[in-house]
Amino acid sequence: MFDRLVLFCLCCCCLVGVFADSNAVKSVSVMEGDSVTLNPDLSDKPPDNLIMWNFKTNGPLIAKINQATNDISIIDDVPDGRFRDRLKLDHQTGSLTITNITTEHAGVYQVTISSKTKTVYRFNVTVYAHLPVPVIISDSPQNSSSYCSLVCSVVNVCHVTLSWYKGNSLLSSISVSDLSNSLSLRLECLDDSYSCVVSNPINNRTENVNSTDLCRPCSDCAFCCHASEALARLAVSVLVGVATVAIVVYDIITSRKGVNERRRDLLIQYKTTVHDNSNCKAI
């Protein structure tokens, strides 16, 4: 019984030796419209292999190379003609080239190399669609006073990442798998270059916000806020200063006329300033 078990194990080892299935699936990423060449490693193989390419694991045979007889055959009408006029073979390297690739050519390609031994390699081909330039719109109410809302969107792409950048810093990002997606950004005002980037693992497209039609520029705001802040400070110090003087004046020369007029001047000045200030905040 034990002997048989050992024998069985030995047989298993022999089988593994003869049929080497390289379990690792090689990942290949390609842009739609590009060509991709799948290259099996023949470095430790004799130059007389029979090489068979299948689409999908154990799927239809799409190409065959007999290195011993120098025969090449491309069977590009299976499974449904999607490979028609797109396949190229190199009988020396055993490589398969798929030209003008589309998303329907994505999937696992299996190559079986047979001579004295048999080796199987797999390639997992991922085809990425061309990315559209993202579109940026403002969805804040026109002449909005408190904030500016920018919405970046892409349509008809899947499995992409949509990100907002301010200069080179990432502000926010979403990974999207839907066909139509958007990512919004809420800003006080536009003070730097903002950009929206749509990306997949091999490509990206960028759209910049450089239009102050979309948002009020911060330079306006800064000027406005700084100016009125300065005015407010000035007014407060003037008020405090003058009030002190007024009190002193009131205390010392209460009987003098004209104080009331001065006070009214002061009041008017203060009110005007406050009015300016609230205007700024409302812009």
Ligand X SMILES: *[C@@H]1O[C@H](CO)[C@@H](O)[C@H](O)[C@H]1NC(C)=O
Give the residue with the Cβ less far from ligand X, 142 or 156: 142
What are the φ and ψ backbone dihedral angles of 239, each rounded to 5 degrees?
A: -60, -50
- Cβ atoms of residues 145 and 172 within 8 Å: no
Find the shortest distance in angstroms from Cβ 268 to ligand X: 28
What is the C-alpha to C-alpha distance for residues 186 and 145, in angstroms, rounded to an integer?
A: 13
Which uninterrupted H or E stretch holds 257?
A: none
Supply the angle between the helices 218-252 and 259-282 in degrees, to the nearest 10: 160
DSSP 190: B
Give the residue with the Cβ less far from ligand X, 69 or 124: 124
Find the shortest distance in angstroms from Cβ 171 to ligand X: 12
Give the residue with the Cβ less far from ligand X, 215 or 235: 215
Give the residue with the Cβ less far from ligand X, 158 or 249: 158
Q: In angstroms, what CA-CA distances link 223 with 158, 230, 236, 270, 282? A: 43, 10, 20, 21, 14
Other Cβ atoms closer than 10 A to 132: 15
Other Cβ atoms closer than 10 A to 145: 10
One-letter amino acid of 105 = H
Interaction site with ligand X (CB under 6 A): 25, 100, 102, 108, 124, 126, 142-143, 197, 199, 204, 208, 210-211
Find the shortest distance in angstroms from Cβ 227 to ligand X: 18
Find the shortest distance in angstroms from Cβ 112 to ligand X: 17
Q: Are strands 194-200 and 160-166 parallel, antiparallel or unpaired?
A: antiparallel
Q: Is 229 helix (H, G, I), strand (E, B) or coil?
A: helix
Find the shortest distance in angstroms from Cβ 42 to ligand X: 23
Query: Half-sphere exposure (CA, 13 Å, Cβ side) for 274?
Result: 8
Find the shortest distance in angstroms from Cβ 162 to ligand X: 11
